[in-house]
Amino acid sequence: MLTEGRIDLLERIPLLKRMLKARAFQPAMMLLTLFVFTLAILTGIAGTPAGSRNFGIIFVWIVWWALLIVVLVPFFGRLWCTICPIPAPGEWLQRRAIIERLPGKLRTRGLRWPRRLKNMWLQNFGFLGVAVFSTIILTRPNVSAWLLLSFLLVGVALSAFYKNRVFCRYVCPVGGFIGLYSLLSPIELRVADPNVCADHKTKDCVTGNEHGYGCPWMVFPGDLTRNVYCGMCFECLKTCPKNNIVLNLRPFGSDLMVAKERRLDEAYKAFIMLGCALLYSVVLLGPWGWLKNWASMDTLPHWALYASSFVIFNLVLLPGLFALVVWLIRRITGNQRPFHQMFVDFAYTLIPLGLAAWIAFSFGFVLINGSYALVVLSDPFGWGWNLFGTSGVSWTPLGTSLIPFLQVGVLTAGLLFALNTAYKVARQHNAHHRPAFLAMLPVAGFAVLVTLGFLRLYLG
Amino acid sequence: MQQLLENRPRLIGLPVLALMLVVWLIPPPGATHATTHEISLDATQYEYAPGRVHVNQGDRVVITLTAADVVHGFYLDGYGLERRVEPGVSQQITFTADKAGKFRYRCSVSCGPLHPFMIGELVVESNTPYWRATGLVLVAVGGMLAYLWLTGKNKSYQEVISGK
């Protein structure tokens, strides 16, 4: 049990505990986000095709995205999953209830999720699948709307066949990277004493009771050592009869050191996220119009070449270069650990760098286009409405002189965090200081080169 | 000195911060003879030609802006200059490039789906912000490596992992 440096927020803030234990809290938040989500779909389908005048584009890809990547994920981990509207309809259909806990089993076919898909690979490929179309999705309201609707429908369909939140846990492309980056967040849901859970016969957090459902994310809180697969739905807080659930404030990145649960699918997620941030910075924020047109499918052959290069870069080139780094480490230190294990372990050093890269990339377009939010708030469909008197607000780019400083600051922080992580991982491989320090140097070199690449793109 | 740093490794932050300050304050290279750059900038969906323009700090820049297909705009980050250009009617923008760095020029009139990403780059040499940022990052990396070397030297594996 690791409680050092932790502060239990539920104990410190009783109001927070009361709120999170209340059955109405999560559905109320979901209903609110479901309203915004539905509006985003409706405006996307029926509103103006001009993305900068459409609520669906501006509120999803500017407002929500900025909130998610700059605030929620770094500071609150999976908190977005607590209020995400996508699984709501499927979950409520399964439960035949929105707020109260009805007795009886979940209404579903109860099929078993295939064992070979119990990992993050589907989310990795799903994210890449969305990413190769992202230039179109980000700029065409109707495409964006159909994508959001498809998420909702897949969520409902999977809920009809499988128990619990299979969509969130194994399919959702957004949930995959939120889970990975929640390793860094300073918030964790854990149990106060795992022995209490081990000795507890009925395991209400898994089976559910009159106060709540068994964990919809199919996690046993008593074993929880990382944030990746805990959706922070707080059902366990409601069901635990032992009052053993805690919500800790902790040091950033604590989960990165949990060696026994590191996996190749998560390592690849780290590569994909870092690679996509780099490629998006080139394609969307760079001056190369032909590349934007290719990404936007001006012709099918151009897009096919773009998409295949995109996928190869993320799945082969970037991990391949990193494999060379690991090979170098083995040559320098003579470490005899399996190559696979070293590759996976050191890949986790790219998680802080990847999140920093996404934040830096997001600064590059969120602040510039943020003022459109006021316009679409008054005129969500682009039909000439002026609900709040802000539809005439002109485009005002914010912080154009400040953005490079923010980008340098966040990238440097991510890089230093990555170096610290690399040294700690190396110490897990080599108990002694000197060989561990030598082992982390090639990883440090890789991370520095990637960071300098971002600096070149943003400032050079 | 080494003993002191080994006992109190966070002191490494002081020379690192001092070095960062030096990097930040290094004066840029002396000004070159200012010249006038006449640049024809053509806007089409969704790019500017040329997409990247280099001038020296202090140069006078005269941009003749044209639109080849639909109505476009021009907004220069950092300088706050803005123009709207219609096909067939060119616009002239004149300014002195008195700030060094990379400044994006972007379309300010909604021109189609990819409008928010219609971007070009004006690089005002010697681009001191870029070189300073690179220097700062490298100094920070050096400082971090020194810190890890000093702190890890006398720590057990458990102490390193727990961050004590």
**In degrees rounded to 5, what are phi and psi of residue B84?**
-115, 140
Residue A2 falls within a domain, yes or no?
A: no
Beta carbons of A452 and B101 less than 8 Å apart: no
H-assigned helices in A182-299: 194-199, 204-207, 235-239, 264-283, 289-295
End position of a domain, from candidates A231, A255, A279: A255
B151 contacts in A (CB within 8 Å)?
none
A459 contacts in B (CB within 8 Å)?
101-102, 127, 129-130, 133
Q: Assign A87 a pLDDT band (cuts: 50, 70, 90).
A: very high
Whole-angstrom distance, CA of residue A211 vs CA of residue A20: 13
Question: Given the structure tokens 């890949």, which residue do they identify?
Answer: A347
- What does DSSP say about strands B52-56 and B119-125: parallel, antiparallel, or unpaired? parallel
Whole-angstrom distance, CA of residue A198 vs CA of residue A101: 26
pLDDT digits (tens, 9 = 90+) for A306-334: 999 999 999 999 999 999 999 999 999 99
Whole-angstrom distance, CA of residue A63 vs CA of residue A369: 10
Whole-angstrom distance, CA of residue B75 vs CA of residue B107: 6
The residue type of B33 is: H
Beta carbons of A290 and B163 less than 8 Å apart: no
Residue A126 falls within a domain, yes or no?
A: no
Q: SS3 for A22-45, per residue?
A: CCCHHHHHHHHHHHHHHHHHHHHH
- What does DSSP say about strands B81-85 and B72-76: parallel, antiparallel, or unpaired? antiparallel
Do residues A247 and A212 touch, judged by C-beta distance below 8 A? Answer: no
- Same structural domain for residues A344 and A233? no
- Same structural domain for residues A227 and A287? no
Tell whether A130 is within 8 A of chain B (Cβ).
Answer: no
Q: Which residue is closest to A3 within chain B, CA to CA?
A: B162
- Same structural domain for residues A204 and A317? no
* Domain around A227: 7-109+140-255
Residue A403 falls within a domain, yes or no?
A: yes
Domain count, chain A: 2
- Same structural domain for residues A267 and A321? yes
- The enclosing H or E element of A61 equals none
pLDDT digits (tens, 9 = 90+) for A242-253: 999 999 999 999
In sign, the C-alpha dihedral spanning A435, A439, A441, A442 is positive
Whole-angstrom distance, CA of residue B122 vs CA of residue A287: 10
Question: Which residue, among A315, A218, A328, A228, has the nearest Cα to A268 in the 3D structure?
Answer: A315
Whole-angstrom distance, CA of residue A290 vs CA of residue A298: 9
Whole-angstrom distance, CA of residue A317 vs CA of residue B129: 31
Residue A395 falls within a domain, yes or no?
A: yes
Residue A39 has pLDDT above 90, yes or no: yes
B103 contacts in A (CB within 8 Å)?
400
pLDDT of residue A293: 95
The partner residue sitting opposite A455, judged by closest CB among B104, B137, B140, is B137
- Same structural domain for residues A416 and A316? yes
CA A2 to chain centroid: 25
A50 contacts in B (CB within 8 Å)?
110, 113, 115
Whole-angstrom distance, CA of residue B39 vs CA of residue B36: 10
Angle value at C-alpha A59, between A54 and A61, nearest 5 degrees: 100
Q: Assign A422 a pLDDT band (cuts: 50, 70, 90).
A: very high
pLDDT digits (tens, 9 = 90+) for B52-109: 999 999 999 999 999 999 999 999 999 999 999 999 999 999 999 999 999 999 999 9
Beta carbons of B117 and A459 less than 8 Å apart: no
End position of a domain, from candidates A232, A255, A278: A255
Q: Provide the terminal-to-terminal Cα distance of chain B, rounded to the nearest Å.
A: 23
Distances (CA, A) of A87 to A148, A156, A455: 12, 7, 38
Give the three-class secondary structure for A190.
Answer: strand
Domain boundaries, chain B: 2-28+131-154, 36-125
Residue A376 falls within a domain, yes or no?
A: yes
DSSP per position, chain B: -HHHHHHSGGGGHHHHHHHHHHHHHPPPPPPPPP-EEEEEEEEETTEEESSEEEEETT-EEEEEEEESSS-EEEEETTTTEEEEEBTTB-EEEEEE--S-EEEEEE--S--STTGGG-EEEEEEET-HHHHHHHHHHHHHHHHHHHHHHHHHHT--HHHHHHT-
Match domain B36-125 to its CATH number in 2.60.40.420, 2.60.260.20, 3.40.30.10, 3.60.150.10. 2.60.40.420
For residue A46, the distance in angstroms to the closest alpha carbon of chain B comes to: 16
- Same structural domain for residues A325 and A403? yes
- Same structural domain for residues A17 and A64? yes
- Same structural domain for residues A395 and A269? yes
Question: Given the structure tokens 């912000």, which residue do they identify?
Answer: B129
Whole-angstrom distance, CA of residue B57 vs CA of residue B99: 6
Residue A83 has pLDDT above 70, yes or no: yes
A245 has which bridge partners?
A191
Residue A129 falls within a domain, yes or no?
A: no
Q: Which residue is closest to B126 within chain A, CA to CA?
A: A460
Residue A275 has pLDDT above 90, yes or no: yes
Do residues A349 and A343 touch, judged by C-beta distance below 8 A? Answer: no
Do residues A376 and A53 touch, judged by C-beta distance below 8 A? Answer: yes
For residue A137, the distance in angstroms to the closest alpha carbon of chain B comes to: 10
- The enclosing H or E element of A391 equals none
- Same structural domain for residues A231 and A280? no
pLDDT of residue B1: 75
pLDDT digits (tens, 9 = 90+) for A372-384: 999 999 999 999 9
Beta carbons of B136 and A286 less than 8 Å apart: no
End position of a domain, from candidates A240, A255, A270: A255
Question: Given the structure tokens 């049990």, which residue do they identify?
Answer: A1
The residue type of A360 is: A
- Same structural domain for residues A268 and A344? yes
Distances (CA, A) of A369 to A10, A141, B23, B115: 38, 16, 33, 11
B46 contacts in A (CB within 8 Å)?
289, 292-293, 296
Do residues A322 and A271 touch, judged by C-beta distance below 8 A? Answer: yes
CA B159 to chain centroid: 39
H-assigned helices in A64-140: 65-66, 73-76, 79-83, 88-95, 121-132, 134-139
pLDDT digits (tens, 9 = 90+) for A177-236: 999 999 999 999 999 999 999 999 999 999 999 999 999 999 999 999 999 999 999 999
Residue A90 falls within a domain, yes or no?
A: yes
The partner residue sitting opposite B113, judged by closest CB among A139, A287, A437, is A139
Residue B164 has pLDDT above 70, yes or no: no
For residue A181, the distance in angstroms to the closest alpha carbon of chain B comes to: 19
Whole-angstrom distance, CA of residue A189 vs CA of residue A228: 11
H-assigned helices in A348-432: 350-369, 372-378, 403-429
Summary mean pLDDT of chain A: 96
